[in-house]
């Protein structure tokens, strides 16, 4: 059994850790509310805009289709992996890295696959594989639509120039504080809704349908990427709050166990001292 000083040091260390994890939990909880409200308010707009553009794209002739819906033989694939800049958030980052590796090694094993890292954790993981073409981790420093739009414009430009034939997004979708769903979405090319049942033709277009599609598609793609990053941002705080809550509970349990061990060791030490005193007194009497 460890001596009393060692146990006291461990109790002090665990108590300090518990204070840190408790503080991190409260910080993440405060940030989560704002991030959750932002993504909840944005989803209906983003989903409806995407649905409208897919419906319009489905009604266009193949020759008049948008340059962003061009279907080419897939040789080069870009995976946009969205993680966080910091850890201590459970399996949040590892799930994205794992899913991205599935795309690289299984789904597109016969293709040339590169990664655009949004988040330092993704950059650290895939830089070791020489897969990263750019690191956009700084977007989380000031998460605004304009900053994300610059990244979306770069992705659209690379697709139009033919550098990549398909672009996929991999991110955590926010469900609640305890649950994040790993999503893989095709960013480019745009896939029109199949089937006439899903195409609503009850619209009057002014100007032409083609002009509307060409104007709105860049905005829709920017919104889609912004939604993905916003989703990931909210999921990060939810995952960190949950992870720090569990860490605090574990630290509390460990501290209580150490205190019990300390009291037992202290009691044993006192008992030994009493026995030594009694034994010494008896020796003197004899």
CA 207 to chain CA centroid, nearest Å: 40
Contacts of 233 (CB under 8 A, 6+ apart): 35, 39, 140, 143
Alpha carbon distance 277, 280 (integer Å): 5
Q: Which pair of tokens denotes residue 71?
A: 């279907």
* Alpha helices for the chain (secondary structure H): 4-59, 92-102, 120-127, 145-160, 209-285
Alpha carbon distance 133, 25 (integer Å): 34
Alpha carbon distance 54, 91 (integer Å): 33
My answer on whether omega of the bond before 283 falls inside 30° of 0, hence cis, is no
**Contact (Cβ atoms closer than 8 angstroms) between residue 131 and residue 125:** no
Residue 31's closest CA among 216, 234, 252, 245? 234
Q: Which phi-psi region, left, alpha or beta, contains residue 90 (left: φ > 0; alpha: ψ -120 to 50)?
A: left
Q: Which pair of tokens denotes residue 134?
A: 């750019």
Catalytic choice (89, 148, 193, 221): 89
89 catalytic? Reply is yes
DSSP class of residue 192?
Answer: P
- Looking up tokens 């139009």, which residue turns up? 160
Task: List the catalytic residues.
Answer: 89
């Amino acid at each position: 059994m460890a001596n009393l000083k060692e146990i006291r040091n461990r109790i002090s260390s665990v108590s300090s850790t518990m204070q840190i994890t408790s503080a991190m939990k409260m910080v993440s909880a405060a940030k989560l509310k704002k991030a959750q409200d932002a993504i909840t308010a944005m989803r209906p707009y983003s989903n409806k805009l995407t649905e409208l553009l897919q419906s319009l794209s489905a009604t266009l002739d193949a020759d008049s289709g948008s340059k962003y819906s061009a279907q080419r033989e897939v040789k080069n694939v870009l995976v946009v992996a969205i993680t966080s800049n910091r850890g201590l958030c459970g399996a949040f980052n590892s799930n994205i890295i794992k899913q991205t590796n599935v795309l690289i090694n299984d789904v597109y094993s016969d293709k040339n696959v590169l990664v655009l890292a949004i988040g330092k954790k993704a950059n650290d993981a895939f830089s070791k594989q020489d897969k990263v073409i750019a690191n956009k981790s700084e977007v989380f420093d000031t998460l605004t639509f304009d900053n994300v739009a610059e990244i979306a414009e770069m992705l659209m430009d690379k697709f139009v120039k033919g550098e990549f034939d398909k672009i996929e997004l991999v991110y955590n979708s926010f469900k609640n504080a305890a649950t994040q769903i790993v999503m893989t979405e095709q960013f480019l090319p745009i896939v029109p809704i199949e089937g006439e049942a899903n195409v609503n033709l009850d619209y009057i277009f002014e100007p032409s349908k083609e002009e509307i599609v060409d104007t709105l598609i860049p905005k829709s793609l920017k919104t889609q990427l912004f939604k993905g990053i916003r989703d990931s941002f909210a999921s990060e705080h939810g995952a960190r709050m949950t992870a720090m809550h569990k860490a605090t509970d574990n630290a509390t349990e460990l501290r209580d166990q150490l205190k019990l061990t300390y009291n037992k060791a202290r009691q044993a030490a006192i008992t030994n001292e009493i026995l030594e005193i009694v034994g010494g007194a008896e020796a003197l009497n004899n």
